A and B are shown apart, each in its own frame.
Chain A
Amino acid sequence: MARTMKLRIFRGNSKDGGLQDVSVEANEGEVILDVIHRVQAEQIGDLAVRWNCKAGKCGSCSVEINGKPRLACMTQVASFDEAETVTITPLRAFPVIKDLVTDVSFNYKKAMEVRAYEPPADLKPGEARMQQIDVERSQEFRKCIECFLCQNTCHVIRDHEENKKSFAGPRFFIRLAELDMHPLDTLRNRKQSAQEEHGLGMCNITKCCTEVCPEHIRITDNAIIPMKERVVDVKYDPLRWLGSVIRKREGIN
């Protein structure tokens, strides 16, 4: 059954802008991205919105709906009351390009700073073998669709622009965790670099990244906290350090 939906949509760019009131028809079963497209088609032809798959798998349509970072294509119209005015804004941790489209290149720069997987030097292509239980652990992190909602909601950079230089963010902490937990990765200083180069210590584990993840990756419990504990192993635990010296072993197998 069709209904009229009241929206407040951000219109503007990095220099100026504000919220624009819009009323638009919404049909049963539709998602917010549908109504944004209807506004675009019928009322504001130049409304900018980034989207692609409309299935919650490409991570393109990340916006903030009533202040919560969400995928527009996965937010049901039916989840809002008819009388409610729904506010749709771009991600507020990144520079806005136009309307609902933000410049997320910060994340691509951070991705490049994470050193790639390094297999053993004598391992030839096609020879790598892993047990299923070792694969499963990192498969959770592989579900990431790079919507950057976790990056957007993380207060370390959302509320402190100056921290962007030294803080990689939750999306890249799961990448670091995946690599550090990889049985065949030979790069042994990932823990140190997580702390010293990627700013893991800045995280105060308030779990907002986990709360907004549309893939339900347990970012904090399964990646960030395990990485923090691994950092403690090599940097802050004198007994672990002593043990590693006495037993002359490098890291943990």
Chain B
Amino acid sequence: MAIDSDTKTSKTGVFSQGRAKLAARTYRTDKWWIQPAITAGVLFLFIVYATYRAFENGKYFAAPLISPFYSPCLAQNCVKGSTSFVGTFFGTWHVFGMTVSPSLFILIFPLAFRMTCYYYRKSYYRSFWMSPPACAVAEPHKKYTGETRAPLIIQNGHRYAFYAGLVLNVFLTIDAVQAFRNAQGQWGHMSVGTLVLTANASFLWLYSASCHTCRHTIGGRLRNFSAHPIRYKLWGWVSVLNHKHQEFAWISLFGVAFADFYVRQVSGGSIRNLYFF
């Protein structure tokens, strides 16, 4: 019987004084790095695509379809027909000689919602910040203060991002309803784009409804369920959705990217929006 006594001299974390003298940062034998690697890869691709589209400032409207990246379109430089029914709150702004994309006025809200989302926090803390990269795998950082100070203390504002996300969901739902028209604005038509925008709005509602803040707001904050039977019932329903929050987070992310991509292709003339009736 051989004894492996190759020990580290580092004094932090699992190598701290008094803990078992073991050399490896982890003894996990499974492929623990796959999940954070995939998560990082997919989120990175989404960020690249979303950034490109946000700054592209074009190909976001093909009547009656509007890209979720640009809706509601609130700037004066929105393409004709795409302006939101609530009006234009922003003029045509220029920065360094470039026209500011209308997308930038609204994308900050879903970005804030997802960045502060409890599920995405887990994802990016693990996959990008490696804090920790996986359970029982030592993280590389010397210090850790969690969400107790700036900038991460801002995560406590998740509920405001959630409220903003609800408002955007309303706009995207209206977009989906308006997609039951043809290109000439006549009602009673349905196309592939209608399905795409309806699915996108549905996924976003499921993502929002399954949110931990939603669960808290609707009844979780109570300490006496029996005194609030209706809120308890609603809390129960939201809790069922909350079990699937992770899945809804991913589905809605893919959904919104696909909806934007579809509208872009239709708007750019690459594909034709096929009408069922």
Contacts and interface: CB of A to CB of B under 8 A. Distances in A.
B173 interface: no
Contacts of B242: 221
Most buried by A among B137, B143, B146, B226: B146
B147 interface: yes
Given A133-B226, A159-B138, A87 B27 contact: yes
Most buried by A among B27, B141, B145, B222: B27
B135 A92 contact: no
Contacts of B20: 10, 12, 17, 89-90, 92, 96, 102
A89 B158 CA distance: 39
A231 B212 CA distance: 14
Contacts of B225: 131, 133-134, 137
A19 B223 contact: no
B12 A67 contact: no
A208 B135 contact: yes
A18 B136 contact: no
Interface residues of B, number: 62
Interface in B1-59: 1-7, 12-14, 16-22, 26-30
B153 interface: yes
Nearest to B243: A221
Contact of A205 (B30, B122, B139): B122
Given A181-B223, A201-B148, A206-B132, A160 B12 contact: yes
Interface of A: 8, 10-12, 14-22, 43, 64, 66-69, 84, 87, 89-90, 92-96, 102, 130-131, 133-134, 137, 152-153, 155-156, 158-161, 163, 180-183, 185, 199, 201-208, 211-212, 221, 225-226, 228-233, 235-237, 251-253
